[in-house]
Chains A and B, each alone.
Chain A
Amino acid sequence: MEKRSLQAFRVGVLSLLFSLIFNLGSFASSEETKKSFDPGETIMHHVMDAHEIHITKGVHIPLPCIVKAKNGFDLFSFSSFKKNESLGYLTYTSGSTGNTYFYEHGHIYLLDSEKGVMTDETGSILNEAPYDISITKNVAGMFLGIVIMFLIFLTVAKSYQTRVGKAPKGIQSFMEPLILFVRDEIAKPSIGHGYERFMPFLLTIFFFIWILNMLGLIPFLGGMNVTGNIGVTMVLALFTFVITSVNAKKGYWMHIVAPPGVPLWLLPIMVPIEILGVFSKPIVLMLRLFANITAGHIVLLSFASLIFIFAEANGPAAGFGVSIVSVAFSVFMNFLELLVAFLQAYVFTLLSALYFGMATEEAH
């Protein structure tokens, strides 16, 4: 009893010191005082996709840009974009296709040879944009997640092959409870008989979403907010939708267009609602994951921006003072985000399993 309270006290003191140390690094830089701190733009810049990995001030990792205009593919590094004084944008002229591209706010556009940059009244750019299939920050994050998953699961699979019948050892013993958790708590209760067919997809989705959520929380790794991109979550929800529809038995569709036990006059209301339900379930899956992760990132970034807002308005001392509170809240929010990372992966997998179960249910 005595030993536990002493350990708890030590943990408390160390966390406090740890959080105070980070205050030293949070002084607002006053070299570029021409541009005042815009919290909205900073937060949006960190949450959205980009063509480079911006680690800290001055440390940028340019990523390859792959664009396809009408006359062919162009592959170049993002660092090839140079500031064009006459236009005011970053431009790059390709050697192979001869096109000139310019970059504005995360998008690559084609520079028209005669008309230059065309904007309309509100300032949005009207130039044609080539097909942009670049390796952006989110794609790089997904590749990193794939590499991590291959490393973990190929190791685990190999150790299951070499250690047949023996007790699990090493990373095997860490992954086994998680894999069994997906099988026994998510797949078996929801799908019931015939759950083995869906296990590969459920396991992949669970670990993919969990690892990508966690990657977005690591600070200086580039802030790859992959699952906070609605395109990524849309594709994951699309997979669930396609697998549900392909594996759905006749009873599933009959329940939608002719729900049993419903009087005839109620059918014109019930059937559109049921059809809407077929589409709304994957859409809500997509929105839930996207909104949870993005909202968490925005809150974390807001707490960090608070320091700079106060420092701008009231001087650096106010920034220091606020940073204690801000760091404390950020630590708490990071713990919450760790829980949310696992929880959102669990809920996505569980709901996918539930939809598979409903689709493949035996008629009773």
Chain B
Amino acid sequence: MSLLSILLQAASSGMDVMGAGIGAGIAALGAGVGIGRIGGSALEAMARQPESTGDIRANMIVAAALVEGAVFFAIVLCLLVVL
């Protein structure tokens, strides 16, 4: 009973929108950390072996796009909460 009333209060006072904002921020954080790590290790590998730069670059872009896919899913969900 008390949980339901808390949820109702949260929904009416606009805390759902705040939750969506925080969620979008955490999603952006996830994107930054993930793609930063991918880029970092890719650059390290390119420095070790410059002749495989092309291969590494292609794989880095693929991995970054996959990580971004998950992040965009979270962002779309947060947008759906707001709208």
Contact = CB atoms under 8 A, between A and B. Distances in A.
A284 B74 CA distance: 12
Interface in B31-80: 58, 61-62, 65-66, 68-70, 72-73, 75-76
A11 interface: no
Contacts of A44: 83
A267 interface: no
Interface string A100-133: 0000000000000000000000000000000000
B65 A343 contact: yes
B62 A295 contact: no
Interface residues of A, number: 16
Main secondary structure of the interface of B (DSSP, over half): helix
B72 A288 contact: yes
B23 to A, nearest CB: 14
B72 A295 contact: yes
Contacts, number: 35
Contacts of B61: 343, 346-347
Contact of B62 (A40, A291, A294, A347): A347
Contacts of A284: 69-70, 73
A344 B72 CA distance: 13
B69 A350 contact: no
A288 B69 contact: yes
Contacts of A291: 69, 72-73, 75-76
A288 B75 CA distance: 11
A334 interface: no
A347 B58 CA distance: 10
A284 to B, nearest CB: 5
Nearest to B69: A288
A287 B72 contact: yes
B75 A295 contact: yes
Contacts of B75: 291, 295
Nearest to B70: A284
Contacts of B83: 40, 44
B4 to A, nearest CB: 21
A295 B70 CA distance: 14
A240 to B, nearest CB: 14
Contacts of B73: 284, 287-288, 291
Nearest to A40: B83
Contacts of A40: 83
A292 interface: yes
Contacts of B76: 287, 290-291, 294
B65 A185 contact: no
Contacts of A290: 76
B68 A292 contact: yes
B33 to A, nearest CB: 19
A346 B61 CA distance: 10
Contact of A292 (B58, B70, B72): B72
A350 B62 contact: yes
B7 to A, nearest CB: 19
Nearest to A348: B65
A288 B68 contact: yes
Contacts of B70: 284
A346 B76 CA distance: 22
Given A295-B72, A295-B75, A288 B65 contact: yes
The 4 closest A-B pairs by CB, nearest first: A291-B72, A288-B69, A347-B65, A291-B76
Interface of B: 58, 61-62, 65-66, 68-70, 72-73, 75-76, 83
Given A44-B83, A288-B72, A291-B69, 20 more contacts: A185-B58, A284-B69, A287-B69, A287-B72, A288-B65, A288-B68, A288-B69, A290-B76, A291-B72, A291-B76, A292-B68, A294-B76, A295-B72, A295-B75, A343-B65, A344-B65, A346-B61, A347-B61, A347-B66, A350-B62
21 contacts: A40-B83, A185-B58, A284-B69, A284-B70, A287-B69, A287-B73, A288-B65, A288-B73, A290-B76, A291-B72, A291-B75, A292-B68, A292-B72, A294-B76, A295-B75, A343-B61, A344-B65, A346-B61, A347-B61, A347-B62, A347-B66
